[in-house]
Structure 1
Amino acid sequence: MTDYLGVLPFLIYLGIFLIYPTLLVMVGAFHDDAGKPSTANIREVTRGVYLEAFVRSIELSATTTLIGMVLGSLLAWAVSTGKPDGLLRRVVGSVCGALAQFGGVTLTFAFIATFGLTGLVTQFLKDNLGIDLFANGVWLFELPGLILVYSYFQIPLMVIVFLPALEGLRPQWREAVQSLGGSTWRYWRHVAAPVLMPSFLGAGLLLFANAFSAYATAAALVSQGSPIVPLQIRGFLVSEVLLGRQNLGKALGLSMIVVVAVVMVLYALLLRRAARWLK
């Protein structure tokens, strides 16, 4: 029994900040504004503006996931070809570790100062090259802007998650293919790609969950409207206009929990499959 005392503080932390809030959201989602059991909130979040917010959230998450998977995997591959203890790998690893956690108000301010209406890059392009980044509208504070900002931390996260899989490829596998007369293309097509695919797809699922549940960056960047689900939930919990509709916000939160739970279960299954080859 004493063997489990070491994890007791973690279990207490998990219960207070994860399990208890999740239970509150689940219970509140199935009660109406008067506190009576009801499924009206669940039905309401599946139509109208709430369904549109889910579609935009999935569009945002899927787009930034694809960008992160493609660019992040290419960068991870370039890093994996260098020396294991080389300067390039240490620098890229450190930078990606910092940028993957760089979000919220700080990241939003950095992008506004750089690409905003009077940002450094915006003014430089306009004054020196005659290029107006906002000729077709203020896209930075809308869904395209969120895609750009989210990609900033999705790409380094992909590098961190996918690099160990690339490092798990054994040189003996390539040598075996070459000894049998196979080309580099055959090695990647028949050996490396099947081994890496579970890790690649699993990393993509992790990126999707990361983007789908992100809140602080979008809240700081989008000051008007609620284009995605996390901002819709914020409106129900803190707005002075939507009073007494907290349970509808909890229903939206429950829907997000379900989506993220499904994604993480699939991620765990893919991770287990990838572990067979990368031990």
Structure 2
Amino acid sequence: MALTIGPLPTDPPPTDAADSVPARRGARSPRALGAWAAVAPLLIYCAIFLGLPTWALLYEAVRRTNPATGVTSFTAQNLTDSWSGFYLTAMWGSLRLSLLTATISVIIGLATTHAIAQSRGRVLKQAVLTASGVLANFGGIPLAFCFIAAAGTAGEATGLIRKIDPGFALDTFTGLVLVYPYFLIPLMVLTTMPALEGLRRQWREAATGLGGSAWDYWRHIGGPILLPTALGGFVLCFGSAFAAYATAQALAGGTVPLITLRIASVLSGNVLAGQENLGMAMSLNTIGICALMMAVYLPLRARSARWLDS
């Protein structure tokens, strides 16, 4: 029996040497250059209106003038003083108010967002999202005026609130705790709505089909997916409450020790001689805390996005 041999495989066609050489690391594609050109105006804007003021704040925070000699020198005394005495009390007051109001907003916001996400009414969902977008930015003097009219000394709801808390007043710590969630809860709704809408119905059905309860679903599937978003929303609410100024100033004035109110008092001239730059040091502290909050928020947000895209 004859043995036939097919044609031998030929060598692959030669390729151009230029094609086989990997692109140089320093080379950039036109698309990448176009992206950088598109974002360049925003970067320049941030560098001018955010970078330069921050640098000036840092420069002034480490300068101090001796009231006796008039000599200005660089020192860390302003930073040290900003973390002592009633300045430390004001910082602790802001931290305590921000933690409490952020916690309240996360609990109520998650429950509200879950209820809206599970509803099938598209009009209701769109109305809630639109209202949340407006209310999340409704702060400052208008919000303070609304609460003064509703729950102030002669407000319509003051008597009802004082049946629960006889010592209630808007110019106290409790009053601020009541007011702040008004704009923090809508912010929490806007932050967590995409994550709750991203929970697929098939995951719940699969868990039920395998014999899992609702608790098992939230413990092993829904909870781990929503946890980064919930923590990110908490950080965002904390930062918004910590940086709020106009609402607290209009409601409490100087009765509640808050770092933002203390900074305004120092910058307006209510400071000892030689400590004119103490307000700059306190402002630098608040920027550091807000930067820390954003450093925590961004990785949590990225992790939540990876969960929902998978």
TM-score w.r.t. length of structure 2 = 0.82
What does residue 15 of structure 1 align with? Answer: 47
2:199 aligned counterpart, secondary structure: coil
Aligned pair partner of 1:32 in 45, 64, 69: 64
Residues in 2 aligned to 1:265 and 1:197: alpha-carbon distance in whole angstroms:
17
Residues in 2 aligned to 1:233 and 1:110: alpha-carbon distance in whole angstroms:
26
Q: Give structure 1 stretches of 5+ with no counterpart.
A: none
Residues in 1 aligned to 2:164 and 2:206: alpha-carbon distance in whole angstroms:
52
Distance 1:223 1:243, change over 3 A: farther
Residue 132 of structure 2 contacts residue 190 of structure 2 at CA under 8 Å; is this kept in 1? Answer: yes
2:180 aligned counterpart, secondary structure: helix
Residue 122 of structure 1 contacts residue 133 of structure 1 at CA under 8 Å; is this kept in 2? Answer: no
Aligned pair partner of 1:196 in 226, 231, 240: 226
Q: What amino acid does structure 2 have at the position aligned with 1:87?
A: V
Residues in 2 aligned to 1:59 and 1:92: alpha-carbon distance in whole angstroms:
29
Compute the displacement of 1:146 (Å): 1.4
Compute the displacement of 1:121 (Å): 2.1
Residue 64 of structure 2 contacts residue 73 of structure 2 at CA under 8 Å; is this kept in 1? Answer: yes
Residue 61 of structure 2 contacts residue 284 of structure 2 at CA under 8 Å; is this kept in 1? Answer: yes
What does residue 266 of structure 1 align with? Answer: 296
Q: What amino acid does structure 2 have at the position aligned with 1:20?
A: L
What does residue 25 of structure 2 align with? Answer: none
Residues in 2 aligned to 1:173 and 1:22: alpha-carbon distance in whole angstroms:
47
Distance 1:38 1:171, change over 3 A: same
What does residue 216 of structure 2 align with? Answer: 186
What does residue 141 of structure 2 align with? Answer: 105
TM-score w.r.t. length of structure 1 = 0.90
Residues in 2 aligned to 1:100 and 1:176: alpha-carbon distance in whole angstroms:
36
Residue 205 of structure 1 contacts residue 267 of structure 1 at CA under 8 Å; is this kept in 2? Answer: yes
Q: What percentage of residue pairs aligned between the two structures are identical?
A: 41
Distance 1:239 1:91, change over 3 A: same
Residues in 2 aligned to 1:44 and 1:222: alpha-carbon distance in whole angstroms:
24
Compute the displacement of 1:8 (Å): 3.8
Q: Deviations over 1:67-122 (max 9, x none)?
A: 00000000000000012x61210111111111100000000000001100011223
The within-5 A match list for 1:64-103 is 64-83=101-120, 86-103=122-139
Moved segments of 4+, more than 4 Å: 131-135, 240-244
What does residue 277 of structure 1 align with? Answer: 307
Q: Which has the larger radius of gyration?
A: 2
Could you say what the CA RMSD is over the residues aligned between the two structures, in angstroms? 2.1
Compute the displacement of 1:270 (Å): 1.1
Residues in 1 aligned to 2:241 and 2:42: alpha-carbon distance in whole angstroms:
26
What does residue 119 of structure 1 align with? Answer: 155
Residues in 2 aligned to 1:243 and 1:154: alpha-carbon distance in whole angstroms:
39
Q: What amino acid does structure 2 have at the position aligned with 1:33?
A: T
Residue 207 of structure 2 contacts residue 213 of structure 2 at CA under 8 Å; is this kept in 1? Answer: yes
Q: Give structure 2 stretches of 5+ with no counterpart.
A: 1-32, 67-71
2:102 aligned counterpart, secondary structure: helix
Aligned length: 272
Compute the displacement of 1:226 (Å): 5.9
Compute the displacement of 1:50 (Å): 0.8
Q: What amino acid does structure 2 have at the position aligned with 1:256?
A: T
